[in-house]
Amino acid sequence: MPVKKKPQRRSSCPVNVSLEIFGDRWSLLIIRDLMLRSYRTYKEFLSSDEGIATNILAERLQRLEAAGILTTSRDADDGRKVVYRLTEKGIDLAPILVELVLWSARHEETGAPPAAIRKMRAKRKQFLAEIRNNWEEGGTAVFIPGSRSA
Amino acid sequence: MPVKKKPQRRSSCPVNVSLEIFGDRWSLLIIRDLMLRSYRTYKEFLSSDEGIATNILAERLQRLEAAGILTTSRDADDGRKVVYRLTEKGIDLAPILVELVLWSARHEETGAPPAAIRKMRAKRKQFLAEIRNNWEEGGTAVFIPGSRSA
DNA sequence: TAGTTCACTTGCGAATTGCAAGCAGTCTTC
DNA sequence: GAAGACTGCTTGCAATTCGCAAGTGAACTA
């Protein structure tokens, strides 16, 4: 009997589908670190200001890999390190992150530098192109800094 | 001693700020129902396909009101009903929902009608204008249907 | 080869979630 | 105008998830 007990979705609404993949307090922060800060390793994610727990981080990285949003590989120079990278599916989340940033900057008090926000809003397409470009080149650009910056 | 024990944020990063407000599996579904389906009452939210629990719904509605994303009022014709409406801050979440929908439609299997998605992508600004317009008029338009549709 | 670093696991108490029931006000119907 | 139904919640409780601390093993470094 080929019964499908697959962890079926709550609904097929596109909003719900995306929430079931990254609708929690941590997933998009990891994606932010990968996309806007060019973080690549477990340790770097741990260093972010929000202070994610090690078990939560490990579980989220697994889920995001299973969802096809990121990939893992060993560092060629240091066999201890695991290198995480966004897939095309992952970099396509850029518009969502940009809108999150613009909404927060408009309606909440954030540490985002106003000049950066203005550029992001006025030259949205260009900003998205820069993010994608940096990703394609495997770059290390920082679009939104962490820690003592913003 | 004016000590501030306020529930301080994990960080002031704009991505984090927005996640602390609506970064869970349910908040954006309520906002979708308000914005894209013109739902207005507790019972209507309960009727959505995802099947939110009554206690969770009540708690999320409170949080969203406290965050200034929606307002409540009594129904003039039926004193039992509470009418929920998005604020300006709430309707400003539209671009985020649109990007969620576009991403899901592109990368996952969803029940969204392809024609609607194409329009949403090709005429994004117009679509956002229609959403806002409907909101300003207190309208009842349905942009993304539920239940047996999508 | 001893010590350190890195990427995780594991244990466990606390908080959050989901489900079922219950419960006040407010209609509606007769 | 009394009985019932409807609406918007609250309460209890079991189950899941979270967050913190500590531990583990493989890979580097001195």
For residue range A70-112, list pLDDT tens digits in order: 999 999 999 999 999 999 999 999 999 999 999 999 999 999 9
- Taking each helix axis from N to C end, the angle separating A27-36 and A14-22, rounded to the nearest 10 degrees, works out to 80
Q: Which of B13, B28, B97 sits opposite A111 (nearest CB)?
A: B13
Answer yes or no: is pLDDT of A22 > 80: yes
Residue B5: the pLDDT is 39
Interface residue A50 vs chain B (CB under 8 A): yes
Q: What integer is the mean pLDDT of B75-80?
A: 95
Burial of A63-83, coded b for 16+ CB within 10 Å and e otherwise, reads bbeebebbeeeeeeeeeeeee
Residue nearest to nucleotide C26 (CA to C1'): B80
C-beta of residue A134 within 8 angstroms of C-beta of residue A26: no
CA angle A39, A40, A45 (to 5 degrees): 60
- Please enumerate in sequence order all residues whose Cβ is within 8 A of that of B36, keeping only pairs 6 or more positions apart, or say none: B97, B131, B142, B143, B144
**A39 in Cβ contact with A54 (< 8 Å):** no
Residue of A9, A15, A35 to mutate, interface with B, max B Cβ within 10 Å: A15
Assess B77–A contact: CB distance below 8 Å, yes or no: no
State both tokens at A118: 């203005």
Rounded-to-integer distance, Cα A102 and Cα B92, Å: 10
Does the pLDDT at position B138 exceed 70? yes
- Residue A113 touches partner B, C-beta closer than 8 Å: no
Q: Which of B23, B49, B102 sits opposite A10 (nearest CB)?
A: B49
Q: Kindly tell me the burial class for residue A150, based on how many C-beta atoms sit within 10 Å of its own C-beta (0-12, 13-18, 19 or more).
A: middle
Nearest to A93 among B25, B93, B103 (CB): B103
Nucleic strand D near CB of residue A114 (< 7 Å): no
**What part of A 83-102 touches B (C-beta under 8 Å)?**
89, 92-93, 95-97, 99-102
Ramachandran angles phi, psi of B94, nearest 5°? -50, -45
Note whether A11 contacts B49, CB cutoff 8 Å: yes
The pTM score is: 0.93
Q: Confidence class of residue A1 from pLDDT cuts 50, 70 and 90?
A: very low
Give Cα A5 to chain centroid, integer Å.
30
Structure confidence by residue, pLDDT tens digits, B94-118: 999 999 999 999 999 999 999 999 9
CA distances to A41, A136, B76, B93 from A133, in Å: 21, 5, 54, 27
Cβ contacts of A70-79, under 8 Å, gap ≥ 24: A70/A31, A70/A34, A75/A41
Q: Which residues of A touch B48 (CB under 8 A)?
A: 11
Confidence category of residue B147, pLDDT binned at 50, 70, 90: low
Report the DSSP beta bridge partners of residue A86. Answer: A70
